[in-house]
Amino acid sequence: MNINRLVHPGFWFGKTDKEEALRLARLGVGGFCLYGGTRTEVSALTQALRAASPHKRILISADYEDGLGRWLPDAELLPSNLALGAAGDENLAFEKGLLTARQAKSIGVDWVFAPVVDLADRADNPIVNTRSFGADPELVIRLAGAFMKGLGQGGALNSLKHFPGHGNTGTDSHLALPVLLSSKEHIWEHELLPFRRLLAQADCVMAGHLLVPSLDAQNPASVSRPILHDLLQQKMGFTGCISTDALCMKALGNEKQAALAALFAGAHVLLVPEKPFELLQFLNSQTLPHPLIARAEQMQNLLCARADEVPPLTQAAAFAPTDFSVRTAHKALTQKGESFRISPGETLYYLSVGNDENLSASPFLRTLEANGVQTEPFQGQPVGKLAILCWRRYQAFKGKIGLDEQEIRQVQQALPLGQESVTVSFANPWSVRGLTCKSLLFTYSPSPVFQQAAAEVLLGIRPATGQLPITL
């Protein structure tokens, strides 16, 4: 038995030493979770890691929740889950899963840590946000189930996350330990409903780093035997693989003790430790029950066999152009409040807020300009037509999601200076809270395709037919 196989280190392109990763592969870790890289870099690394491993098969995973474009610069950023929630279309959710799986498999990644089935319950949740399909459990079940079917048809493994539900929390578990204060009864009927209904399709369940006092007052879910063994395995009957969330996150404290506790709680995969060599040394110094290790290895054997059922496509085939994002944008964009239109020959003044990732507004502005609209940055003077562009979106380790007080003041001072105004939320729909907006447009994604669609809605070229999948 090889306890090293239970550990799946992370690899960050541009940061992690490749030779260290190859050493870990030779030590017999069970797989790697990849962050970043280009298609060529990922493909080359996955081949090298597999060649270095003593195992017949290892699992390569990634957080490709919105397609590969969230991590790879040469791949398309697919529509967010919340955009799919606004569109409400199972066929689109299936297609997103299928595209993601085919592209991931073509570069050597066979395990996608998705879908997120956390509910979009709270405006101040800094990490779930557009990763959720919406606030309604039935909508989440319907779309996440279709997405999982798409992943499976494309040959990729899935992972339901973050058990038992990360939506109704206000803390980023990358930075600190979130607390879910819901009652046991509410959790069963609300947060756990998507997990309960989708477990039969799940290759894996990822345990969240969050404290749920009504289920276990002492231990975070990812290291809690009452939550993983008693609830997930015994009461809910899940017999598949359980993975921790990334151990390098700051919610758990001592990494070695957390990993050990997770194994005894019921986990089979110890994901992305901060210090993998030290963790391997520590685990090998412990006397662990043979059935525990054997069960974890059995889980990985099953996943490896499942991952080989569908052969990968070539990169050329997997990344062939598609109009998927265009069709999703046309069905997802949501307009609320008063109608706002801009016509050829008019000037639209724009003010960007919450753009701490320096996202470009060029696709939005170019589409307007191509249709005869002049665009100008807002300079604080009275204008005819004004657009407030809100860009903030979830980002791990950031700890916040809404506009800050200074940005809200900036917008509130600007809005009265426009005879007509519209606020366009390109990512976090809750970013408009606290603003006195008469006209609102939600895209749920800052990708070029969604920016272009937003401009077309303002031009009156197409309607906004999406339904807001959250409560503002």
The whole-angstrom separation of Cα 358 and Cα 261 is: 40
| Marked catalytic residue, from 162, 174, 268, 330 | 174
The DSSP line for 166-200 is: -TT--S-TTTS--B----HHHHHHTTTHHHHHHGG
| Marked catalytic residue, from 63, 166, 245, 268 | 245
Determine contact, residues 451/426, Cβ cutoff 8 Å: yes
Closest by Cα among 298, 358, 256, 389 to 2: 298
SS3 52: helix
Torsion angle in degrees (nearest 10) through CA of 425, 430, 431, 433: 120
Closest by Cα among 453, 421, 251 to 333: 453
CA 363 to chain centroid, in Å, comes to 24
Cα angle 320-49-279, degrees, rounded to a multiple of 5: 125
SS3 content of the chain, % helix, strand, coil (to 5): 40, 15, 45
**Active-site residue, 323 included:** no
Length of the chain equals 472
**Active-site residue, 136 included:** no
Q: Which positions are catalytic? A: 174, 245
